Amino acid sequence: MASQPIQPLAMPFAEFMKTWWYVPLTIWRETFESFYHPQLFLGCNIQDMDDEYHVLNEVGSYGKQLSRIQKVLDLLIAHLKKDELTDEEQMALEEYRAYTERVAAALAESRGPRPSELTTGYVDRLGKALQARRITDRQEYDRILKKLKLILEREAIA
């Protein structure tokens, strides 16, 4: 009597692993979209994982952090004397501007049309959020209030 060949034990994700190609830039968004925070750390700077999560939760996404850096760069660039830049520096500046235009276009496409009118309901929600922020984080509340005052002063001048 011939013996039956032994079937290998089916491992979870065995088929998936046959075709999976790990690259540090692997996008997991669709795979784990039902999770609250789809950040995965595989290999690179794994020792900083706790710090990364803490910064993301307390400060904001990488996109938010980069947009703040971009605002500062835009401010500094606005004060540059263009005639003092070398050709290479001017090219770098043009590349940066093209990049920021692409970012703005991608955001506009992602966000879609937004209501153009400010409603009283929105102002009420903003007021409640400010009250909560004053209690939980007084320094951030002061920064937000300062920025709002600046915007209102600009509107009064216009």
Q: For residue range 70-121, what is the model confidence (pLDDT) as tens digits?
A: 999 999 999 998 889 999 999 999 999 999 999 888 887 877 666 666 778 7
For the question of whether the overall pTM of this predicted structure is more than 0.75, the answer is no
Q: How far is CA 127 from CA 75, 86, 135, 150, in A?
A: 29, 49, 13, 17
Per the prediction, the chain carries an average pLDDT of 77
Nearest to 97 by CA among 109, 112, 83, 82: 82
pLDDT at position 79: 92
What pLDDT band is residue 44 in, cutting at 50, 70 and 90?
low
The DSSP element (H or E) to which 88 belongs, if any, is helix 87-111
78, two tokens: 């606005």
121, two tokens: 């309901």
